[in-house]
Amino acid sequence: MSKYDVIVLGSGPGGYVTAIRASQLGLKTAIVEKENLGGVCLNWGCIPTKALLKSAQVFEYLKHAEDYGLKVKDYDKDFDAVVKRSRSVADGMSKGVQFLMKKNKIDVIEGFGKLKTGKKLDVTDKDGKTTEYSADHIIIATGARSRELPSLPQDGKKVIGYREAMTLPKQPKKMIVVGSGAIGVEFAYFYKSMGTEVTIVEFLPSIVPVEDADVSKQLERSFKKSGMKIMTSAEVTKVDTSGDGVKATVKTKKGEEVLEADIVLSAVGIKTNIENIGLEDVGIAVDRDKILVNDYYQTNIPGYYAIGDVTPGQALAHVASAEGILCVEKIAGMHVEALDYGNIPGCTYCTPEVASVGLTEAQAKEQGYELKVGKFPFSASGKAKAGGNADGFVKVIFDAKYGEWLGCHMIGAGVTDMIAEAVVARKLETTGHEVLKAVHPHPTMSEAVMEAVADAYDEVIHL
């Protein structure tokens, strides 16, 4: 039986980052993975979807070349080639993680891991052989998968999840996307840009429902402008896959409507991968599909930890990585501060992009703050206009009494690369006046942050 200081179960952006940090801290480390290093994020999520979205964006540029004074006579898309490029990018990233494992002297154990009592786990390889391992600290990072609704069972062909959406053998003419969170709107944008007729069906009253109301309204306007159909306060109650395509029955306030499509993409959230990994055998506490942990990701059983999507925090790659680093630094005896889940940025990579951190305006009002709210549209930004990216805005929310930056909400080109300014500023407890007096470069998209702050304090120049 092999003995380690740390064994990490799962190699997604939580698991592999945790393993690397553990090794850096001098801990003998192994990682267990049943499929591909990098997990869903690198292989079937964050990275390959961004490759698809980039192809869609380039195709959009070609379609609008004349807007930039350019003439492109012959251009077309090759759907297979777009998918192949995405898979190539994912494969390259997974190989990169393999290199990092070797570089950091981390043992990679291939197979399905199952926890046992006494800080042990069994790993069964593809040939069915089971080997026992032990460690002083076992960290669960098994992630999540596409959630299935009883009314929307996935068959992998006509009713699909995100994995199948990335590798369809041919481009559908019509697609229904159920759910308008990050996964739903990213795929809706991709397929619409490539020429598919797309309808989004959202159960709640607005798309991207976790975002600020102004952002939701702007994205809906942008999507409708592109020709996408949006149905909010709507529910798919059943699907019929018996014919050539799919018939989806959608319940709305006006009654029932039957939509026809080639494919239905179910993007209604995620389901944690906690089945059959031995949680019950060890006695690890679970509540509503999540493993219960303390501020340092310790479960109720000493020596067992959990990070990432399987825990109650936000199901985001960067959250899983941060949790894993904090977890092993605590194990190594370092002084660490608990993660501030109120300062986690969220990013959605459709066009226009969406990025946010902190409280929405509605949440801030509910908490009783007196607010200063500023908003700067990209239509007033020189850089945005020059780049042909005038859709969207930056919105900032401050506590009027103390100047605390309560929230920042962006929609527009490249805003996912801009949101970190607000995250760092909020971490440093920066006030609105400090942001306003920090000189921002011109012409840039990022100066819209300064302009939005200026608007909050009635000092805006370019609006």
Q: What is the pLDDT along the chain (463 residues), one digit of tens a residue?
A: 689 999 999 999 999 999 999 999 999 999 999 988 888 878 888 899 999 999 999 999 999 999 999 999 899 999 999 999 999 999 999 899 999 999 999 999 999 999 999 999 999 999 999 999 999 999 999 999 989 888 899 999 999 999 999 999 999 999 999 999 999 999 999 999 999 999 999 999 999 999 999 999 999 999 999 999 999 999 999 999 998 999 999 999 999 999 999 999 999 989 999 999 999 999 999 999 999 999 999 999 999 999 999 999 999 999 999 999 999 999 999 999 999 999 999 999 999 999 999 999 999 999 999 999 999 999 999 999 999 999 999 999 999 999 999 999 999 999 999 999 999 999 999 999 999 999 999 999 999 999 999 999 999 888 7
Q: Would you say 10 is a known binding-site residue?
A: no
pLDDT for 462? 82
Work out the widest C-alpha separation in the chain, in whole angstroms.
69
Considering only CA atoms, which of 449, 387, 439 is closest in space to residue 413?
387
What are 201's two structure tokens? Answer: 């069906």
Whether 44 contacts 64, CB under 8 Å: no
Residues 393 and 278 in one domain: no
Domain that holds residue 444: 352-456
Q: Which of 208, 237, 268 is the last residue of a domain?
A: 268
Residues 181 and 321 in one domain: no
Q: Which of 268, 299, 326 is the last residue of a domain?
A: 268
Instruction: Give the domain CATH number at 421.
Output: 3.30.390.30
pLDDT for 41? 79
Residues 15 and 138 in one domain: yes
Q: Is residue 300 part of a domain?
A: yes
pLDDT for 243? 87
- Residue 388's region, left for phi above 0, alpha for psi from -120 to 50, else beta, is left
Residues 18 and 133 in one domain: yes
Q: Which of 246, 268, 290 is the last residue of a domain?
A: 268
Whether 357 contacts 419, CB under 8 Å: yes
Q: How far is CA 444 from CA 199, 386, 414, 434, 448, in A?
A: 34, 10, 11, 19, 8
Q: State how many domains the chain has.
A: 3
Question: Which residues are marked as active site?
Answer: 442
pLDDT for 1? 62
Considering only CA atoms, which of 311, 290, 271 is closest in space to residue 147?
271
Q: Which residue has the tokens 């991968």?
A: 273
Q: Is residue 325 part of a domain?
A: yes
Q: Is residue 176 part of a domain?
A: yes
Q: Would you say 309 is a known binding-site residue?
A: yes
Q: Is residue 461 part of a domain?
A: no
Q: Would you say 370 is a known binding-site residue?
A: no
d(CA 308, CA 275): 16
pLDDT for 55? 96
Residues 416 and 451 in one domain: yes
Q: Would you say 459 is a known binding-site residue?
A: no
Local structure of 184: helix, strand or coil: helix
Q: Would you say 179 is a known binding-site residue?
A: yes
pLDDT for 463? 78
Whether 400 contacts 372, CB under 8 Å: yes
Number of H helices, E strands in the chain: 14, 24
Residues 256 and 193 in one domain: yes
DSSP structure string for 18-63: HHHHHHHTT--EEEEESS-TTHHHHHHSHHHHHHHHHHHHHHHHHH
Residues 313 and 381 in one domain: no
Q: Is residue 232 part of a domain?
A: yes
Residues 108 and 120 in one domain: yes
Q: What is the pLDDT of residues 361-408, one digit of tens each?
A: 999 999 999 999 999 999 999 999 999 999 999 999 999 999 999 999
Q: Would you say 240 is a known binding-site residue?
A: no
Whole-model pTM?
Answer: 0.94
Instruction: Give the domain CATH number at 259.
Output: 3.50.50.60
Residues 107 and 164 in one domain: no
Q: Is residue 178 part of a domain?
A: yes
d(CA 276, CA 283): 13
Residues 128 and 192 in one domain: no
Residues 175 and 198 in one domain: yes
Residues 32 and 134 in one domain: yes
Q: Is residue 305 part of a domain?
A: yes
Q: Would you say 180 is a known binding-site residue?
A: yes
Q: Is residue 33 part of a domain?
A: yes
Q: Would you say 184 is a known binding-site residue?
A: yes
Q: Would you say 395 is a known binding-site residue?
A: no
